[in-house]
Structure 1
Amino acid sequence: MRYFIQFSYFGKAYHGWQNQPNAITVQQILEEGLSTLLRSKIETAGAGRTDTGVHAKQMFAHFDFGPIQDSIDLTRRLNGFLPPDIAVKSIFLTLPEAHARFDAIERTYEYWIVQDKNPFYIDSTHFIWSALDLDAMNQAASILMEYEDFECFSKSNTDVKTFLCKIKKAVWHRKDDKLIFTITADRFLRNMVRAIVGTLLEIGLGKNDPQKIRAIIESKDRGEAGASVPAKGLYLTKVLYPEKIFDE
């Protein structure tokens, strides 16, 4: 039987979601907790990978196991077993062929920036003191949706088969004391959002014209794009699935 698990985590202590040798990851901690409570080796598959230090407000993974009599009780016990920076919201039965990664329709990320020094945001936002031209950044962000090949924003030497992504939303807005960039797409390349934000910030700082982003994208050269911003300001905020995933 296949189960989906919905959870969130603060990524400071982890080398991302995906298991890797000699590094602590969210997947490792989650699998250890499930394996202990279910008294069986549990392997999970996540909705995607997040880089070291990136956070997730909403993340999904799936795992296979026999009948679970009380998923609410398992959720409660698992939360008691996990560290404070990982929280499980729900565990539910789904279709046998459902896949946390391949069935995801779209994903949404936010990047948080503050422009006033604030010790309470030290691990959760990126601080920029210089003035930013929000209109210019939004003008450049809107151009992203005209393209599909984003090799220029992909991590170098990546092993992906395609650099094509369909961006459905890309916008900056101010909320309280934060400047937030929201971007939604069917898929993302490794390091893509942080590279996009770094490129848009150069435009906001007046180093490039908004139209410059066209030449950057068309170059397909990572060296033409801006430097990646720190991981601590990046949040996976939503993963969207077809309704059938939740119907069981």
Structure 2
Amino acid sequence: MRDEHQRYCIEIAYKGTAYHGWQIQENAVSVQELVDKALTTILRQHIKTVGCGRTDTGVHARQLFAHFDIHHGQTDKLDIARVLNGLNSLLPNDIVIKDFFSVASDFHARFDAISRSYEYHIHFGKNPFLQGFSWQLRDRPDVGRMNAAAEIMMTYRDFSCFSKSHTQVYTNNCEITYAKWLWEADDVLVFYISANRFLRNMVRAIVGTLISIGNDSTKSADSIREIIESKNRSLAGTSVPACGLYLTKVSYKDIETLDS
């Protein structure tokens, strides 16, 4: 018996400045809202995407996946290239659909993802070309001390201290597989972090905490232990601005599942 639908996946990138995050919000414009409207218009049937995660207001994404189903009557004549061109014509210039491909009927963009990676960008001194894409700081922190603290952080699993309050999640445990600060071109300092999952506001809280350690010579790298073990958000650093944060990569175990 023929399946009633075909599942597809899209790869999206966007500048998040103008949006209240990826996920559809009441009384606020989100990236998902515009993508769903464009898909519905091009495919001529109601489309509701399921994203691999969510990004907060103002956060950018270089790679975000979302899946959706199309009823079988439409899949017979679906021209992927035409659909992709049509979507990008309808969407604003700060959102792009980079790829569009079929996947297995049980593929799930969120639950099948095994790793997510973020970057946080910081620059020093006024730079109009980085405005909106990086956080400007005046004082240079001690990067060595921040990287030492990041290494200690990776030995923990419960990151309640970095979670936004009153979020409904089944666990605050995450497995961080990479966390490091690196100097890049144009005097930009970038924090790279990868984990199997992230809590809401977690990366921005981690960056704020590490920056506070790097800026205070009285704090050792080991001070991050007390913060994490307290499970108290008020002991961690402030959340840094969204403009410097990017979702950069989402990985899946079976790469062939994402093969067009």
* TM-score, normalised by the number of residues in structure 1: 0.98
Identical columns (%):
52
Structure 1 partner of 2:81: 72
Contact 1:10 1:55 in 2 (8 A): yes
Letter of the 1:58 counterpart: Q
What is the rounded CA distance, in whole Å, between the counterparts of 2:200 and 2:259 in structure 1? 31
- Cα drift, residue 69 of structure 1: 2.6
Structure 1 partner of 2:25: 20
Structure 1 partner of 2:169: 160
Alignment of 1:34-113 (within 5 A): 34-65=39-70, 66=72, 67=75, 69-113=78-122
- Cα drift, residue 246 of structure 1: 2.1
Find out whether 1:186 has 2:191 as its counterpart. Answer: no
Alignment of 1:116-155 (within 5 A): 116-155=125-164
Structure 2 partner of 1:11: 16
What is the rounded CA distance, in whole Å, between the counterparts of 1:15 and 1:245 in structure 2? 30
What is the rounded CA distance, in whole Å, between the counterparts of 1:228 and 1:247 in structure 2? 37
Contact 1:105 1:186 in 2 (8 A): yes
- Cα drift, residue 243 of structure 1: 1.7
Letter of the 1:36 counterpart: T
What is the rounded CA distance, in whole Å, between the counterparts of 1:119 and 1:109 in structure 2? 23
Segment drifting more, 203-212 vs 21-30: 203-212
Give the root-mean-square deviation of aligned CA atoms: 1.0
What is the rounded CA distance, in whole Å, between the counterparts of 1:109 and 1:145 in structure 2? 15
Q: What do residues 119-159 of structure 1 show as CA deviations (whole Å, max 9, x unaligned)? A: 11111100111021110010001111100000000001111
Structure 1 partner of 2:213: 203
What is the rounded CA distance, in whole Å, between the counterparts of 1:123 and 1:168 in structure 2? 28
- Cα drift, residue 247 of structure 1: 4.4
What is the rounded CA distance, in whole Å, between the counterparts of 2:16 and 2:148 in structure 1? 31
Contact 2:11 2:65 in 1 (8 A): yes
Letter of the 1:224 counterpart: L
What is the rounded CA distance, in whole Å, between the counterparts of 1:245 and 1:14 in structure 2? 30
Letter of the 2:224 counterpart: I
Count residues with an aligned counterpart.
248
Segment drifting more, 100-109 vs 200-209: 200-209
Residue 181 of structure 2, aligned match among 172, 180, 189 = 172
- Cα drift, residue 161 of structure 1: 1.1
What is the rounded CA distance, in whole Å, between the counterparts of 1:245 and 1:116 in structure 2? 44
Structure 2: which 5+ runs fail to align? 1-5
Find out whether 1:245 has 2:257 as its counterpart. Answer: yes
- Cα drift, residue 117 of structure 1: 1.1
Structure 1: which 5+ runs fail to align? none
Structure 1 partner of 2:3: none
What is the rounded CA distance, in whole Å, between the counterparts of 1:183 and 1:78 in structure 2? 31
